[in-house]
């Protein structure tokens, strides 16, 4: 069982730098950067998301958030390799949302992954450049920052999505590219 940091109101966070060996992280980063068909999707209020994204997973899985529809493409080798490594320590996942941060200007705003039909465990792996991952408690406003570097694993569980928000803020620092993989368990839609 992994060690979890217990947050207020039942949230759980596991932070593990160097979860993936550097050679695995570097290889998977290059494969995903070069082989994935990346897209910049619309965000709220007619703007574009400040990052590129892609979606992979089990056949028939669709993830909806903030007005975007993410239909899973079939798993590819580097994602299956990382998925198996995470599942060997915690969780079970049928979907992966990939976000590609091209520079410090690309970001993810403060949000919670609390959409209906999504489980309460998210396994997140960072590849490439190090960026800050912040969590903020909704009631106390306490904010914690974690350095999400190459090969870092972050698992969010418990009631974290109900009581906390998280983000990857912009930075003016000269950082390289980063790819973040968020593995989730999404309920299958029924018609």
The answer to the question of whether 184 is labelled as a binding residue is yes
What DSSP character marks residue 145?
Answer: E
Q: How far is CA 15 from the centre of its chain?
A: 13
The answer to the question of whether 39 is labelled as a binding residue is no
The answer to the question of whether 93 is labelled as a binding residue is no
The answer to the question of whether 114 is labelled as a binding residue is yes
Q: CB of 2 within 8 A of CB of 155?
A: yes
The answer to the question of whether 47 is labelled as a binding residue is no
Q: How far apart are CA 11 and CA 53, in angstroms?
A: 27
Q: CB of 185 within 8 A of CB of 120?
A: no
The answer to the question of whether 182 is labelled as a binding residue is yes
H-helix segments, the chain: 22-35, 77-87, 160-163
The answer to the question of whether 27 is labelled as a binding residue is no
Binding-site positions read 63-65, 99, 101, 111, 114, 166, 178, 182, 184
Q: Which residues are annotated as a binding site for substrate?
A: 63-65, 114
Binding region for 2-oxoglutarate: 99, 101, 111, 166, 178, 182, 184
């Amino acid at each position: 069982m992994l060690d979890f940091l217990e947050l207020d109101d039942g949230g759980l966070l596991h932070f593990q730098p160097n979860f993936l060996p550097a050679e695995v992280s570097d290889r998977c980063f290059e494969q995903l950067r070069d082989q994935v068909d990346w897209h910049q999707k619309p965000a709220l209020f007619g703007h574009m998301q400040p990052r590129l994204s892609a979606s992979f997973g089990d056949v028939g899985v669709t993830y909806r958030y903030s007005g975007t529809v993410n239909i899973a493409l079939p798993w590819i080798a580097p994602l299956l390799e990382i998925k198996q490594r995470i599942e060997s320590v915690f969780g079970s996942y049928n979907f992966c949302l990939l976000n590609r941060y091209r520079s410090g200007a690309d970001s993810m705003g403060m949000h919670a992954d609390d959409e209906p039909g999504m489980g309460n465990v998210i396994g997140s792996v960072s590849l490439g450049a190090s960026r800050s991952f912040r969590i903020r408690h909704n009631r106390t406003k306490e904010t914690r920052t974690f350095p999400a570097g190459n090969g870092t694993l972050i698992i969010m569980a418990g009631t974290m999505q109900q009581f906390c928000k998280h983000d990857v803020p912009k930075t003016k620092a000269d950082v390289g590219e980063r790819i973040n993989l968020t593995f989730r368990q999404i309920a299958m839609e029924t018609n």
